Amino acid sequence: MTNSNQVPLVAMDNISIAFGGIKAVDDVSIDLYPGEVVGLLGHNGAGKSTLIKILSGAYQKQGGEIRINGQPVTINNPRDAKALGIETIYQTLALADNVDAAANLFLGRELRTAWGTLDDAAMEAACREVMGRLNPNFKRFKDPVRALSGGQRQSVAIARALYFNARILIMDEPTAALGPEETAQVSQLIQNLKQQGIGIFLISHDIHDVFDLSDRVSVMKNGQLVGTAPVNAVTKDDVLGMIILGKCPVAATAGPGALVEESA
């Protein structure tokens, strides 16, 4: 959980971007601490994906500041984000179905021997090492990833990010289309990541997912931040009120322009 004395892994302050004169993200501030999951909720078009794409380098902010470990940074493209330890795990996972976990781990960044051939042994050893930290139950190193379950495929995608030193993960709908058993696998993966001090932004439409997996929840509506609250201080009805009405409960930190619910 967050500690007020800690420096955030990520601080996005007063972030804004507009497309064709329409503010997709309007003066939004959000942060993320080591070993924390922040769930980002809102209807389609609320601005949550646009905000996160600014952090991942897909879009460039037009206003505001991003700080990583307290230091202001410039993120002009995904390469800049990766260099800062920011990785995105998309819903599609971007895996090559016809090859195994190690080949996916090093896709486009293959290890080679002194003779210039692929160093399959080194890549498999590295894959086993990182997967051992992430998902010790993973055993299917030789199978093409098309043969893996949804939870196992998530393991491969996350292992790739970890191997290349990610400290900040953006997870886009990580349990979409997964059954209960696979969802439990992903939940365990996230717990393992938190124990390693990795911070996670979790984008989801599923309020149950967010309550199960997150430490705090931030809600956006019409490009603005409604508010941020610890999940143990609000109810699902409170959060639905934030999503639908833009109404911020007392337990939450309100964003600019949010309707704040008065205490009884």
Residue 135's pLDDT is 84
Residue 188's pLDDT is 85
State how far the Cα of 60 lies from the Cα of 50, in Å rounded to an integer: 10
Domains and CATH numbers, the chain: 10-85+167-260 (3.40.50.300), 100-165 (no CATH)
User: Residue 56, exposed/middle/buried by CB under 10 A (0-12, 13-18, 19+)?
Assistant: buried
- 3-class secondary-structure state, position 245: helix
Backbone dihedral angles phi then psi of residue 65, each to the nearest 5 degrees: -140, 145
Residue 3's pLDDT is 53
Which residues, 6+ apart, have CB-to-CB distance to 83 below 8 Å? Answer: none
State how far the Cα of 239 lies from the Cα of 261, in Å rounded to an integer: 12
User: pLDDT digits over 189-218, tens only?
Assistant: 889 889 989 999 999 888 888 898 999 999
| pTM (2 d.p.) | 0.87
Instruction: With beta carbons less than 8 A apart as the criterion, state whether 119 and 102 touch.
Output: no
Residue 56's pLDDT is 94
Residue 124's pLDDT is 93
Spans of the chain below 50 pLDDT? 264
Query: How many CB atoms are located within 10 Å of the residue 165 CB?
Result: 11
User: Residue 137, exposed/middle/buried by CB under 10 A (0-12, 13-18, 19+)?
Assistant: exposed
Residue 257's pLDDT is 67
Residue 14's pLDDT is 96
Residue 4's pLDDT is 56
